[in-house]
A and B are shown apart, each in its own frame.
Chain A
Amino acid sequence: MIEVIDLCKVYSMGKVSVDALQGVTLSIKKGEFVGIMGASGSGKSTLLHMIGLLDKPTSGKILIGGEDISTLSDHKKTLFRLKRLGYVFQDYALMPELTVEENVYLTSMVRGTSENEYLSQTKEILTRIGLAERSDALQSELSGGQQQRVSIARAVVNRPEILFADEPCANLDTVSSQNILDLFRKINHELHQTIVMVSHEEWHMEYFDRVIILRDGRVISDGPPVIRDHCIIRSPE
């Protein structure tokens, strides 16, 4: 589903260059729930942004469904993101002037889905995440956990091929975080949704099928999480 080949990203800040990614190569299969982990500055968010077509790599290739996305024009990338990818951001990134329902169906409107269809899809997804009662609420009227659930609903309403989540629990307390991770796992199991999530919390590993650990822009580990005495310690290196 996703093939990343020798991916490099160099950020230039004046005379200083920072190698955020240094030859990352990996592949992700359809239906996998993959966690990208690592310390702050390890390059995990940068990698997610590259695979998610939010940023351009300095070199290397990214293939999604066999298509080399690095060769796409900006317009085609926009269409690709709209039709094939979904995103959940750390700070929810909801439109404050839109209600819960409007936030969820916005991208469906852009896709040209009929009003009846996107309204029923939105109702269904909001019911599934337990926010049907709050469909007319604005972002300012929701808790952090509720906002993140709306953000997830918005990301999956169009059934994207890949769902990208960039530290979706970073601003949430433990209980809300567990709820969100449960929701991701439910979506992954029930819809066979491919999910790529960036996290730096070790206890999140429990939810992933596979963990890729980065350090200094390089993959240092890639495999299923290792659980010892009901406690996930880390992925094998």
Chain B
Amino acid sequence: MSLQHLKVSFFLAVRGLLRGSRGSLYLSILIIAMVFTNMIFMSSIIMGAIKNSEQSIIEYQTGNILVGPKENEQYIEDISGLLDKLNRIPGVIRASAHYSLGATLKNEGNRVGGTVIAVKPDDERMVTGTWKKMIEGEYLSDGETGEVIIGIQTSGHKDENDDMGPTLGYVRTGDPVTIEYTNGVTREYRVKGIFETRSYQADMEIFVTWNEMESVLGHPITDSTGVIIRTSPDLPEAQVKQTILRFGVQEEVKTWQDLLEEAFGRAIESFSIINSVTVIVSLVIAIVVLFIVIMIKTLNNRRQIGVLKALGVDKSIIINNYLFQVLLLTAAGTILGICIVEGMVGLLTVFPIVFPDGDVTPYVTPGDLISNTILLFIAAAIAGYIPAWRVASEDIMTAMRS
């Protein structure tokens, strides 16, 4: 196969497409664009939901790294010593200690079970973004007592239909809330603020200050149920985790990826199976559609193919002509498909899809576009080659008599 032969094939392909049926040309491009969109879109939504979930967990719940009690222990001991150590480790922006205690919240006959988390607000502001998500009132301040901030899924929405579980029945800032702790202490609090992160898990949380929890427990807190850490965005969490371990931290240290693997490992695996099935089905559709398009083209052009062979045009030139046609159709379809995908990403960024774990926008990387484009081109090449080869392999007179 010489360059000259490829040039002739390309010449015939371009003329065949541009001067053939316009309707069939546009329809073929549209079908390929739709197939490409289908290959990308479902997986982008799934990836968007996963990424959104990851971001919510990092931003509002665990930070980049979570330090928990040693195996078979309930608390991290000497929390101030651990915090001092963690905050000195390169790559750690800030560590924030949590102390969680089970409780029942009451308001005007509504009861909600949950976990009250004690935080040091100044530390917490540097680790999570909950303080930026106050829809009413204010975030906690260091040292204050008698006040609580509550997530919207615990406080309740004005419209009950928006509640996804039991709530306190639309509690507002300044309202009183009674909390019965599992240690037997009952306290009356004023709601200082309501937050809404749009992550269901995060929006169920209830926070009080460290000082308030010390008051509930009746002694200074030297232990902790967990420490969350914000790491430098320039360093991978796994690297910072290794550094933490090298600094002699004995507690259980997990990155958010470790936690996700534990919590959602199966779900992510299922998502990737769904994603693979979607891509395979789309590719099969692409192969079948392109096969039919080229089959119809070659069958309609059987006589022309016979004439070309009679004139001394090599079989490979004829096959490559149709191969180029299908690849050009695929290129045009892919470009249109990328435009459609980017348009949908833009649209869904402005008007996201509402999921329980937050607003989801499609997540498409250049790698996704490239890999799906390559897959589509391989499918197109197979779908174009087979019918072209079949017709081009006919003997001249059979083709010319058709």
Q: Is A49 close to B, CB under 8 A?
A: yes
Could you give, for residues 79-109 of chain A, a 1 whenever the CB lies within 8 Å of some chain B CB and a 0 otherwise? Answer: 1111101010100010111100010001101
For chains A and B in complex, what number of residue pairs have CB atoms within 8 angstroms? 73
Residues of the B chain whose Cβ atoms lie less than 8 Å from the Cβ of A175: none
A102-B8 Cα distance, complex, nearest whole Å: 11
A120 CB within 8 Å of chain B: no
In the bound complex, how far is the Cα of B46 from the Cα of A15, in angstroms? 63
| B97 contacts the other chain (CB 8 A) | no
Q: Is A58 an interface residue (CB 8 A)?
A: no
Bound Cα distance from A54 to B312, whole angstroms: 10
Smallest Cβ-Cβ distance to A113: which chain B residue = B4
Partner of B311, one of A49, A55, A98, A107: A107
Would you list which residues of chain A between 38 and 66 have a CB under 8 Å from chain B?
49, 52, 54-55
Tell me, yes or no, whether A138 is within 8 Å of chain B by CB.
yes
Residues of B within 8 A of A107 (CB): 311-313
Known A54-B396, A89-B307; contact A110-B315, beta-carbon cutoff 8 A: no
| A27 at the B interface (CB under 8 A) | no
The interface residues of chain B lying within 8 Å CB-to-CB of A95 are: 12, 15, 304, 307-308
Residue among B8, B309, B396 facing the most chain A CB atoms (10 A cut-off): B396
Interface residues of B in 1-46 (CB under 8 A from A): 2, 4-5, 7-8, 11-12, 15-16, 18-20
> Does B273 sit at the interface, judged by CB under 8 A?
no
Complexed CA–CA distance, A138 and B317 (Å): 22
Q: Mark A128-143, 1 if CB is under 8 A from B, else 0.
A: 0000000000100000
A171 in the interface (beta carbon within 8 A): no
Contact A109 B396 (CB under 8 A): no
Is there an interface contact between A81 and B312, defined as CB atoms closer than 8 Å?
yes
Task: Flag whether A112 is at the interface (Cβ < 8 A).
Answer: yes
Indicate if the CB atoms of A110 and B314 lie closer than 8 Å: yes
User: Is there contact, CB below 8 Å, between A110 and B15?
Assistant: no
Query: A78 interface residue, CB < 8 Å from B?
Result: yes
Within 8 Å by CB of A82, from B12, B18, B312, lies B312
Interface size class of B (residues with CB under 8 A): 20 to 34
- Chain B residue numbers with a CB within 8 Å of A89 are 307, 310, 400
B397 within 8 A of A: yes
Q: Which residue of B lies closest to A107 (CB)?
A: B311
| Smallest CB gap from A154: residue in B | B311
CA distance A53 to B2 in the complex (A): 24
What is the bound-complex CA distance between A79 and B317, given in angstroms?
13
Cβ contacts B45-66/A at 8 Å (1 or 0 each) = 0000000000000000000000
| Chain B residues within an 8 Å CB radius of A85 | 312
For B14, give the chain A residue with the smallest CB separation.
A97
B124 to chain A, nearest CB (A): 70
Q: Which one of B4, B15, B312, B397 lies within 8 Å of A102 (CB-CB)? A: B15
Across the interface, name the chain B residue whose C-beta is closest to A55.
B397
- CB atoms of B11 and A109 under 8 A apart: yes
Q: Please, which residues of chain A bring their CB within 8 A of the CB of B395?
A: 55
Evaluate contact between B19 and A97: CB separation under 8 angstroms: yes
Contact A83 B312 (CB under 8 A): yes
List of A residues within 8 angstroms of B400 by Cβ: 54, 89, 93
A55 and B396 contact, CB distance less than 8 A? yes
Contact A138 B11 (CB under 8 A): no
Distance between Cα atoms of A154 and B313 in the complex (Å): 13
Q: Distance (Å) between the CB of A9 and the closest chain B CB?
A: 11
- A79 and B312 form a contact (CB under 8 A): yes
CA distance A223 to B307 in the complex (A): 31
A110-B5, A110-B8 in contact; A54/B310 too (CB < 8 A)?
A: yes
**A contact residues around B20 at 8 Å (CB):** 97
Chain B residues 257 to 294 lying within 8 A of chain A, measured CB to CB, are none
CB 8 Å contact bits of A14-55 with B (1 = contact, 0 = none): 000000000000000000000000000000000001001011
Q: Would you call A138 and B307 a contact (CB within 8 A)?
A: no
Chain A positions within 8 Å of B308 at CB level: 95
**A106-B311, A107-B312 given; A97·B15 CB < 8 A:** yes
Determine whether the beta carbon of B311 is less than 8 Å from that of A87. yes
For B396, list chain A residues within 8 Å (CB): 54-55
Chain A residues lying within 8 Å of B11, measured Cβ to Cβ, are 109
Which 4 pairs show the lowest CB-CB distances between chains A and B?
Answer: A82-B312, A81-B312, A97-B19, A93-B307
Chain B residues proximal to chain A, CB less than 8 Å:
2, 4-5, 7-8, 11-12, 15-16, 18-20, 303-304, 307-315, 317, 395-397, 400
Q: A82-B313, A93-B303 are in contact. List 17 more A-B contacts (CB 8 A).
A: A49-B397, A55-B395, A78-B312, A78-B314, A78-B315, A80-B312, A81-B310, A82-B312, A89-B307, A89-B400, A93-B400, A97-B18, A106-B311, A106-B313, A109-B7, A110-B312, A112-B4
